[in-house]
Structure 1
Amino acid sequence: MYVNIAVALPVEHLYTYRVPEEFQDDVAVGKRALIPFGRKYATGYIVEITDTSEREETKDILDVLDAAPVVTAPILRLTKWMAEYYFCSWGVAIKAALPAGIDTIHAIEIRLNAAEPPAMTTDFFQMEQPQVSGEMQRAILKTLRQHVSLSLQDLQKKVGKKRLHSSLNALQKRGLICVEESAKAGKAKAKTIQHIVLSQPNAQEADVVLLEQRAPKQAAVFKVLEELFPNDLPVVEIEELVGFDPRSAIKSLIDKGFVQVYAKEIRRKPMGYFAYQKSSHLPLTPEQDVVLTHITTAIDEGNFAPMLLHGVTGSGKTEVYMQAIAYLLSKGRRAIVLVPEISLTPLLVSRFLSRFEENIAVLHSGLSTGERYDEWQRIRRGDVDVVIGARSAIFAPLDQLGLIIVDEEHEMSYKQDSEPRYHGRDTAIMRARFENIPIILGSATPSLESYHNALNHKYHLLTIAQRVDGRPLPNVEIIDRRHEQGAHLISNALEEAIRNTLAKGEQVLIFLNLRGYANFYLCRDCGFVYECPRCNVTLTYHASLHRLICHYCDFSRIPPARCDQCGSPDVQYRGIGTERIEQDMQLLFPDAEIGRMDRDTVSGKNAHFEILQRFENGEIDMLIGTQMIAKGHDFHNVTLVGVIAAETGLNLPDFRASERTFQILTQVAGRTGRGQLGGEVIIQAYASEHYAILAAQRHDYLSFYNREIAFRQQLRYPPFSRMVNILLQGQDEDFTREIAIQMANTLRNAPQSEHRVAVLGPSPAALTKLRNKYRFQLLLKCEHSNYMRLFVKTQLAHFRELMSLKDVQILVDVDPVNLL
């Protein structure tokens, strides 16, 4: 018996291993196997079982790691599609579908040789020895003498260097160290706690009396457990009941056979901090009712049915989702709900908890490794019927899946920016297709691609054009900053509106999609601007840390008092960020409680939830933030939204810049006027006449779509073509550029069919240097997706055969959403 195994490495093919007789009853497709891989151990995923092997010599698998398959048949099919569509290996795709930390780790331990050579005295480490050459080898021996044994990772940290293999090999050959390799279990595992229970509940009275006379502490523990029997008790709770440290008493009772202690698995509860009250279905508007009827009909029919739900902000899309899921559960089916960011998860989870209680599981990157593992296990066991989470939740191993919902389907954060570079929305559509079930894509501002698909009947278009209870959309006023006097960041109109709103006891949202205090730090004498030495971006000043920080690689430094170029003391902060706006607002409104929500303030666990909960409870009067506050939130006391710089993203070198500007402005405007109090929006802009800003002012999606789609059609951008972005990056700028030019020539000179692939570039990426690597990109466009992928796959393989590319990394991004 043989198995074909996928490994989580950038390789296209599968690896064949022989199955020893002792494992033949255990192997199954979807299980993991421990395999020898080169000089290491690795975790492999069994994707096929066969009776023969095309290779004459095959290695044996070392172990089967699972009692039951961890990759279900639907997920295997989905990840195979991902591997083919997004140009990654099947093993990499499977690994992305599983919770982090479950794979076996190849561990390397280094220690001094037990038989320490006579030469290894204190003097040995202070002088040149014929046995040891090189500073690094001496540093390794010194470190091991202090610690005896270290993992490779710990040794690398202590000697301050990653590449130690040549030094370790030399020391090992001379018999000075031992290098031991092993396979260790991953970090993700069930959490257990020690429990204690009586093993002799009917102990002889004489034995108990003897305990009381000779060992009163043991007797006290025994009596506590006797009263609880047949229930057990966590060992950590014994001390509180008996009033002393019970460890030695428990040990003695175990030795005497009176009690037994065992490990009991407990579930970590990532939703334990959510407070909720049970709620019932809300009455639906006529538009909501029509939409729900269409969805329940699709559920009953049980076929693949993609639906685009275009509902204005505040139209009650979430209520439709929940009532559709309730109907689905009544039919014995289950659902997955995707949200683009973890900042939206607390609101959605609390609403779903109130409706479905703890019949839901949550999956997102804000959970600890253990919490994600526990939630995944609950899903795998069938303990829950609804899964809510970010893009990776689409891989939840739910049986009887009957509906997928992708909320805020337009969001670019559904696209992963590292391998595998999959799009969560598109992958969700493929899972729905493979499992033959309906899928809902919901948004107040659908992506142009999705709306175009709906107009062309690839999706069924569902519309909710009115807010619930007939509430009007907020009035939006644009303040043209070109006509304002002075250099204040807050216009007079916005300041007055904030003052009036706070005076009425209502709340304010202030949106600026730039974090930090100031965008850049410059010398006013010579014009020198401080940039990151690793990336070609300006350093952002963060006042709370008093540091200049790169938002891409996290490089930081203290702002210099004098210019590094000319020595002038006239150095200043320029630009704005949420931290600066927060400071200005505190000066303008000293009596207001002001909060800030951006990546700098939500780094702690549950920080998203805590800030939003304080705002919802009225503990914060004004919340300032980036895009985290712009969508999905439902605060009825927010009656004013202020936008500080509407054109922030308009001038980015990306053909979607106008679309994203319209979407973010429409979404943030929709945070107000959701209650009985109404609402208003004030947008500050210099590009006040741009069509994206004007369309957002009118809440007019259709006029924006019509203008933008004409631009896309003229230049053959998506949805009128499919795109692949090929990014080449390397530490040598000239060499990387030359490789990019040669690749472009190879692609242009390749034979093509009538389905032409247009090759644009190479050109320096918008971020030409990132983390010490120079970046060049080629943009490919073609109207036929299948031909494009075949062309790229064939030509990349051909190019790799022609060129040595060990110093240049090639990244392939299919359907890119970010061209920076």
Structure 2
Amino acid sequence: MNKLLRVAIPSPLRRLFDYLPPCDSETSTESVTLDSNHAYSTNSGIGRRVKVPFGRRELIGVVLDEVTETDVPRNKLKPINEFIDEEPLLPSYMLEFVLWAADYYQHPVGDAVLHALPALLRKGSSTDSVHHYVWQITPHANIEQLAKNASKLRNSFQIIADHPAGISREAFRAEGGDSQALKALFNKGLISEQLQESTPPISNPLKEAPLTLNPEQALVVQHLQNAPHFSPILLDGITGSGKTEVYLQAITNVLNAGQQALVLVPEIGLTPQTVQRFKQRFNVPIRILHSNLTDKQRLEAWLDARDGRAKIIIGTRSAIFTPLLNPGIIIIDEEHDGSFKQQEGFRYSARDLSVVRAHAENIPVILGSATPSLETLHNCQSGRYRHFTLRQRAGNAIAPEFKLLDIRGARLHNGLSEVLIEHIKAHIEQGTQVLVFINRRGFAPSLSCHDCGWIAECRRCDARMTLHYNPAHLHCHHCDSQRPIPARCDQCGSDAIKPQGAGTERTEQTLQSLFPNTSVLRIDRDSTSRKGSLDKLMEQVHSGEPCILVGTQMLAKGHHFPRVTLVAILDADGGLFSTDFRGMERTAQLITQVAGRAGRADHPGTVFLQTLHADHPLLTNLALAGYEAFAAAELTLRKQYQLAPFRFIAIVRAESQKPGTAESFLQSLREAIAPSFGGIDWQGPFPSPMEKKAGVFRSQLLLSCPSRIHLQNCLSHLCLVSDEHPSHSKVRWSVDVDPYDLY
């Protein structure tokens, strides 16, 4: 009897689908085992992509199992249309990893499995569509053969020179290379294109000598050398303490052993200096994976990683699903960052999955941060992770001095106190640089009528629209809807409509008027949306000339500003009164990260926190004792009130086009399930704090339990009940396990 194929299909249905083998083939009945390279050793159907009929459509799926029994009559089963792959795309350990993640995060398995593949593979493209032609520098070619002012040619030449084994067109473009410059370099005979048969062995993986480690850094690197197996560690280092150098030297040891390294960062676009340091240090193929790449670029980088050509892979959260031929280490930089948690669809945490994956592959994993999450600190206290601290800043740099600036009753110039303005003036006159942090984009957070109090609100969300002047428009940052700035009040017709509050645009404008002879550089998502714009701004900063940087949390991550001696945080009170119990933690992390941009070289730094609550215990504790003391106190409170990480949390979210429908759906789920699962604390359902978003009405149900297993069992049952619920088709619902945002 032919075996049946159980296929994962990208759909919201939480099940697999049985199919007959293709009409013209038989599937193998052999078992699947791993060879020394983590690959399948048989030609089993498991792990291979297939084209299958699904209703009136043809879908791409992945075979997950071969069975002989099915609940569906055989005469009702359809045959697979065709196998796309001759061999499985994913090694079996990676397939098992994805299935584990789908199960833990209560997500439909078909959607999760296809999520782990690049977009072109999800669409059915062949892996043979990527031909490994690479550009290389020709013998005796030198960058000095190019004119000094030919910046595009020199930049493109250097990108190719940084890859002695060659770089493909797609990877070249992904790293900012110019296509016209490529043609010009070829015409000059400085580069040539060749078919790369395989990656040539590299005798020395280093381009430049490593730095000398201080005793704290050396202790970490020595530990990793002595424990090249599963060994989760927290690298808890203050800003400027040399965490990246530890990463680099740990990776050097991995490369010398013939293995690969996977490095996850919060956002590639915000950490250009980190990526550049890797390229300067290593003489091996490095691939970058993030959402701004084209589909072909992502596929090429994914295949280079899977097949072992790429030795170092640097990516954002989705890169956690990238297979490696010879995995050696996983590094999570800025592990506390919320962007490692997927907030829509497959709601996984790349940080947490990195530990699961490292355990499965029996390799070390480093979680690095200057402001570790309380969950990670708790894992250290529980003995699950090793805790290493770096408290010594690199070189002669010393930690910045914190000062609380009480602005109660003070006169403000669009959010800037006169005392702060005087300090900014003094630092500019000293020839150094100033960073002004305000975590609000746009000109002003809202537009209101001075006569009747009307406020411009989004018509699709329960939110105010942000005023932008460049270009002029109102913008909702929740649903992305935009509309022109009205000339008169929508409510009373008055023309007395005025901006309220200050965003980055208004702060930039104010500072430029106060300091007309000083460059004021705004760095936020609006000012850096064009390709290369962030690089140009950074060039100005690194020139060393006095300037004022104005920006959002884009400035808090991965940047080294050696000339910045003053950091001013305009709205230090932002998260002090959040309804989310993690609000305090995030505020402390953000303040500490931004403050860390000051005093990173020979110039001492000062941090001013403008606040209306200068006596708030969080701010005083943070300013006087630092993040470590804050975290210890906050963990004590979490334990006292039995909040995460001392309890496990999940949220069931639902949304509908009609108000009340989602809430009724969740209420009926609670009534059906809660009596069978004692020991679980149920809260809600209740409307989300922003009930209406993008035109739909949202509600949520929060579950917490001291037992992870008991909570998971309850969630599994809840998903089964939800799929059969009479209102299932009227709502869109999802489960968020270990949520980053409670509301």
Q: Secondary structure at the match of 1:429?
A: helix
Find the counterpart in structure 2 of residue 15 from structure 1: 17
Quick check: 1:32–1:45 contact (8 Å CA) kept in 2?
yes
The match for 1:77 is 96
SS at match of 2:120: coil
TM-score normalized with structure 1 length: 0.78
Separation (CA, whole Å) in 2 of partners of 1:585 and 1:627: 19
The code of the aligned residue for 1:752 comes to: F
Structure 1 residues 494 and 17: alpha-carbon distance in aligned structure 2, compared to 1, 3 A threshold: same
- Shift of residue 590, structure 1, vs aligned partner: 1.3
Is contact 1:7-1:45 (8 Å) kept? yes
* 1:181-220 equivalences in 2 (<5 Å): 185=125, 190=130
* 2:261 aligned residue (335, 344, 363): 335
Q: What residue number does 2:35 align with?
A: none
1:788 alignment partner in structure 2 = 711
RMSD in angstroms over aligned alpha carbons? 2.5
Query: In the alignment, does 2:230 pair up with 1:293?
Result: no
Query: 1:707, 1:23 → 2: CA distance?
Result: 65
Aligned residue identity for 2:21: V
1:9 counterpart SS class: coil
Are 1:815 and 2:702 an aligned pair? no
Pick closer, same or farther for the CA change 1:747–1:566 going to 2, 3 Å: farther
> Which residue of 660, 674, 680 corresponds with 1:734?
660
Cα distance in structure 1, aligned partners of 2:305 and 2:610:
46
Q: Which range is displaced more, 430-439 or 377-386?
A: 377-386
Aligned to 1:565: 491
Q: Which of 698, 701, 707 is the aligned partner of 1:778? A: 701
Any residues of structure 2 matched to 1:170-249 within 5 Å, and which? 185=125, 190=130
Q: CA contact under 8 A between 2:234 and 2:385: conserved in structure 1? A: yes
Deviation at 1:43, TM superposition (A): 0.3
One-letter amino acid of the structure 2 residue matched with residue 556 of structure 1: Q
Determine the structure 2 residue equivalent to 1:178: none
Change (3 A) 1:612 1:95: farther
How much does 1:270 deviate?
Answer: 4.5
Q: Secondary structure of 2:278's partner? A: helix
Separation of aligned partners in 2, 1:60 and 1:582: 63
Kindly indicate whether the alpha-carbon contact (under 8 Å) linking 1:193 and 1:265 is maintained by their aligned counterparts in 2.
yes
Q: Which of 97, 103, 117 is equivalent to 2:116?
A: 97
3-state SS in 1 of match to 2:672: helix
The alpha carbon displacement at 1:425 in A equals 0.2
> Contact 1:191–1:370 (CA<8 Å) still a contact in 2?
no
- 1:672: which partner in 2? 598
| Structure 1 position 337, deviation (Å) | 0.8
One-letter code of the match for 1:624?
A: V
Offset, 1:716 = 1.6
Match of 2:209 in 1: 280
Contact residue 691 and residue 697 of structure 2 kept, 8 A: yes
* 1:803 lines up with 2:726 in the alignment: yes
Matched residue type, 1:294: H
Partner of 1:635: 561
- Counterpart in 2 of 1:111? none
CA displacement 1:699-732 (0-9 Å, x = unmatched)? 5223212321232123221011000011111111
- 1:401 is matched by which residue type in structure 2? P
1:795 counterpart SS class: helix
CA deviation string 1:347-371 (max 9, x = no partner) = 1110000111342111111222222
Q: Give the counterpart of 2:6 among 4, 7, 20.
A: 4
Residues 480-533 of structure 1 show CA distances to partners (whole Å, capped at 9, x for unaligned) of: 111423554212232222222222332222111111111111112221211111
Instruction: State whether structure 2 residue 688 is matched by structure 1 residue 759.
Output: no
Cα pair 2:170 2:296 within 8 Å, conserved: no
Structure 1 distance, partners of 2:609, 2:290, is 33
Identical pairs, percent: 37
Matched, 1:64 2:78: no
Q: Deviations over 1:452-497 (max 9, x none)?
A: 1101111111111221235320111111111423554212232222
Contact 1:523/1:570, CA 8 A, preserved across alignment: yes
CA distance in structure 2 between the aligned counterparts of 1:317 and 1:442, rounded to whole angstroms: 7
The CA distance in 2 between the partners of 1:187 and 1:560, in whole Å, is 52
Counterpart of 1:190, as a letter, is V
| Structure 2 Cα separation of the partners of residues 369 and 623 of structure 1 | 34
Unaligned runs of 5+ in 1: 106-184, 196-227, 229-263
Partner of residue 446, structure 2: 520
- Which segments of 5 or more consecutive residues in structure 2 lack a partner in the other structure? 28-42, 139-166, 179-205
Deviation at 1:274, TM superposition (A): 8.1
Q: Does residue 1:269 correspond to 2:271, yes or no?
A: no
CA distance in 2, matches of 1:681, 1:354: 32
d(CA) in 1 for partners of 2:591 and 2:105? 31
Contact 2:234–2:387 (CA under 8 A) maintained in structure 1: yes
Counterpart of 1:309 in 2: which secondary structure?
A: strand
- Tell me the SS of whatever aligns to 1:428: helix
Q: Tell me the CA shift for residue 419 of structure 1.
A: 1.3
Partner letter of residue 48 of structure 2?
K
- Does 2:411 match 1:502? no
Could you say if the C-alpha distance between residues 443 and 193 of structure 1 is closer, same or farther in structure 2, counting changes exceeding 3 Å? Answer: closer
The aligned residue for residue 37 of structure 1 is 54
Matched to 1:269, the amino acid is: F
Asked whether the 8 Å contact 2:120–2:295 carries over to 1, the reply is: yes
Post-superposition offset of 1:61: 1.2
Partner deviation per Cα, 1:623-655 (whole Å, 9 max, x = no partner): 211111012211212222111111123333211
The residue number in structure 2 matching 1:663 is 589
Q: Give, in whole Å, the separation in 2 of the partners of 1:591 and 1:68.
A: 64
Instruction: Find the residue that maps to 2:119 and give its secondary structure.
Output: coil
Asked if 2 retains the 8 angstrom alpha-carbon contact of 1:7 and 1:14, the reply is: yes
Is 1:402 paired with 2:342?
no
Q: Which amino acid aligns with 2:14?
A: E
Whether the aligned pair in 2 keeps the contact of 1:187 and 1:369 (CA below 8 Å) is no
| Counterpart residue type for residue 70 of structure 1 | L
- Alpha-carbon displacement from aligned partner over 1:764-793 (angstroms, at most 9, x marks no partner): 111111111111111111011111011122
Aligned to 1:716: 642
Q: Which amino acid aligns with 2:171?
A: R
Q: Is the 8 A contact 1:614 1:620 kept in 2?
A: no
SS in 1 for 2:499: strand
What is the total number of aligned residue pairs between the two structures? 667
Note the C-alpha offset of 1:611: 3.0
1:368 aligns with one of 274, 290, 294:
294
Report 1:419-434 matches (<5 A).
Answer: 419-434=345-360
| Cα shift at 1:593 | 1.8
Distance apart, 1:278 and its partner CA: 4.1
For 2:613 and 2:233, the matched residues in 1 are separated by: 35
The one-letter amino acid paired with 1:781 is S
- The residue number in structure 2 matching 1:202 is none
Distance in structure 1 (CA, Å) of the matches to 2:508 and 2:131: 42
Cα 1:557–1:466 change in 2 (3 A) is same
Q: Give the conservation status (yes or no) of the 8 Å contact 1:35–1:42.
A: yes
Q: 1:417 to 1:674 in 2, by over 3 A?
A: same
**Contact 1:474–1:670 (CA<8 Å) still a contact in 2?**
yes
Q: Which amino acid aligns with 2:701?
A: L
Give 1:600 shift: 1.2
Matched position secondary structure for 1:562:
coil
- After TM superposition, list the pairs within 5 Å mapping 1:213-612 onto structure 2: 266-270=169-173, 272-273=175-176, 278-299=207-228, 302=229, 304-469=230-395, 471-612=397-538
The answer to whether the 8 Å contact 1:285/1:469 transfers is no
Residue 264 of structure 2 contacts residue 332 of structure 2 at CA under 8 Å; is this kept in 1? yes
Residue of structure 1 equivalent to 2:159: none
Shift of 1:62: 1.3
Q: What CA distance in whole angstroms lies between the structure 2 residues aligned with 1:394 and 1:357?
A: 24
Q: How many Å separate the matches in 2 of 1:271 and 1:556?
A: 30
Whether the 8 Å contact between 1:646 and 1:665 is mirrored in structure 2 is yes
Q: Distance in 1 between matches of 2:95 and 2:420?
A: 54
Shift of 1:336: 0.7
In the alignment, the residues of structure 2 paired with residue 800 and residue 273 of structure 1 have an alpha-carbon distance, to the nearest angstrom, of 46
